[in-house]
Amino acid sequence: MKQIKLFLILSMATLLTWACTNDKEPLPDTTDCTNVLSIAATSQVDSNCGQSDGGFTVAVTGGSGNYTYQIASSASQSSPVFENLEAGVYTVIATDTDLGCTAEIELQVRNQDGVNATLATTESDCNVPGGTIQVTAADGVQPYEYKVDDGAFQASSNFSDLAPGAYAITVRDANGCEVELQAQVGSTVVFAEIRNIVQTNCAVSGCHNGNISPDFRNDANILGRASRIQARTSSRTMPPATSGRSLSNEEIANIVCWVNDGASGN
C-alpha cells in the first residue's frame, strides 16, 4: 500500500514539473504614497559656460518631514541644496525616510553666457526603431551643432530611427560652448499587450492561474512582478520549456520595453 501511495505522489510531481515555479509573495505595502509629497524649486543659479558653478535649491512639503534628496542615481544627501553643477537638465528625487514615499522634479541649470536647449521626443516600436528626438537650441552664438551619445556632431537638430531607451544629446554653439541633455525615447507597447503575453503563456492550467502563486490572472500581480517577469522571460525560464510554450523574440522585447518605460498599467 505504501508503494502505491509513493507511486501516486511521484506521478503527480511529474505531471506538475512543467508548471511555473512558485514565487514568494511579498509582504503587502500598506502605505499609499499618492500625493503625499510635493517638491518645488525655491532658487536656481545659472552656470558659466564649461564651468560647474550652477545649482538649485528645492523644498519638499508633506509626509513626515524627514527627507533625503538626490539627483537621479547619485548618492542621497540630507541637504536640499545642490551646487557645483554644469549646464544641463537634472531629475531631483526627494524621499520621505519614514514613509518611503518619493517625489521628483526636473530642473534645468542654464548656460548664462552660451547655448541652451530643450528636447521633444516621439515613441518607437520595440522591434522596429522609429523614435525621434527634436532639439530646439537658443542663446549662445549660431550656428549650432548637435550629437547623440558619442556620435559625431551634425548640423541637423533632428535624430530619427531611434530604439526605445535613454540618449545623451549635446548641443554646441559657434564659440564651443556646450550643453548636454538627457532624452528618453519611450515605446509604443501598452499593458494590454503584456497582459495578453503573460496570461496566454503562464496564467493557464497547472501554472499561475490560481493554484500556483502568484496568480497572473490578477493585473496587480503582473504589475508588482514586472522586473521578475522581465528577468525570467529574457532568460527563457518563463514559461518553462517543459510546458510546450515559448515566447517569440518580439514578445520578449515588448516586455523589456514595458519594464524600461516604468511598467505602468496603462
DSSP 33-100: -TT--EEEEEEEE-B-TT---EEEEEEEESTTS-EEEEETTSPPBS-SEEEEE-SEEEEEEEEETTT-
pLDDT of residue 212: 79
183 beta partners:
167
pLDDT digits (tens, 9 = 90+) for 212-255: 788 898 999 999 999 999 999 999 988 887 778 889 999 999 99
pLDDT of residue 81 exceeding 50, the answer is: yes
With a threshold of 0.85, does the pTM exceed it? Answer: no
User: Which band of pLDDT confidence, cut at 50, 70 and 90, is reported for residue 4?
Assistant: very low
pLDDT score of 31 = 63
**Backbone phi, psi, residue 239, to 5°:** -70, 155
Q: What integer pLDDT is reported at residue 22 of this predicted model?
A: 54
Angle, CA of 259, 263 and 264, to the nearest 5°: 155
Q: Does the pLDDT value for residue 83 go beyond 70? A: yes
Residue 88 C-alpha cell reads as: 544641463
5 pLDDT higher than 50: no
Mean predicted confidence (pLDDT) in 175-197: 93
Q: What is the pLDDT of residue 125?
A: 94
pLDDT at 91: 93
Please state the rounded mean pLDDT for residues 176-195: 93
**Distance, CA of 178 to CA of 90 (rounded, Å):** 16
Q: What DSSP string describes 118-187?
A: EEEEE-B-SSS--EEEEEEEEESSSPPEEEETTS--BS-SEEEEEPSEEEEEEEE-TTS-EEEEEEEE-B
Say whether pLDDT at 191 is over 50: yes
Q: Which domains does the chain have, with CATH numbers?
A: 38-109 (2.60.40.1080), 115-185 (2.60.40.1080), 189-266 (no CATH)
Grid coordinates given for 239: 514559461
Q: Round to whole Å and give the CA distance between 139 and 144.
A: 10
Q: What is the pLDDT of residue 98?
A: 94
Provide the sign of the torsion angle of the four alpha carbons 133, 139, 144, 145, taken in this order. Answer: negative
Q: Bridge partners of 132?
A: 122
Cell (9 digits) for 3: 508503494
**What's the rounded Cα separation, in Å, for the pair 6 and 8?**
5
pLDDT digits (tens, 9 = 90+) for 18-66: 445 555 544 444 567 888 999 999 999 999 998 999 999 999 999 999 9
Radius of gyration, CA atoms only, the chain: 25
